[in-house]
Amino acid sequence: MSHLVEDAPARRRFEILVDDALAGFTAYRQQSPDVLVFTHTEVDPTFQGKGVGGALMRGTLDEIRRRGSRVVPQCPFMAAFIDKHPEYADLVAS
């Protein structure tokens, strides 16, 4: 199972594709040029329990880090992921 996480700015969300099928997304709004507020994450039921949500979070947060941006994790899924993976805690905007 191959997956790809990519930003879809026209839809204001990061999407994860699994074998070219949309498996989930995490929606955001731009708070400032370098801060994204993540409001909602959804994984298609077909892909739940297969690590897709975690892969989506890792791919999204790695891209945020690469850009030098920060996040406001209003989405409970993202907030819980960051709590469990403190290596991403530095990306949370204060």
Q: Name 22's bridge partners.
A: 17
pLDDT (tens digit, 9 = 90+) per residue, 52-73?
999 999 999 999 999 999 999 9
| Backbone phi, psi, residue 34, to 5° | -120, 20
Q: Check whether 1 has a pLDDT greater than 80.
A: no
- What is residue 50's predicted lDDT score, i.e. its pLDDT? 94
- What is residue 94's predicted lDDT score, i.e. its pLDDT? 80
pLDDT (tens digit, 9 = 90+) per residue, 22-36?
999 999 999 999 999
Q: Name 6's bridge partners.
A: 15
Inter-residue contact 84 to 56 (CB < 8 Å): no
- What is residue 21's predicted lDDT score, i.e. its pLDDT? 93
Averaged confidence pLDDT in the chain: 96
In this structure, how many other beta carbons lie within 10 angstroms of the beta carbon of residue 47? Answer: 20
Domains detected in the chain: 3-91 (3.40.630.30)
pTM above 0.85, yes or no: yes
Closest among 14, 19, 25, 16 to 2, alpha carbons compared: 19
Inter-residue contact 34 to 43 (CB < 8 Å): no
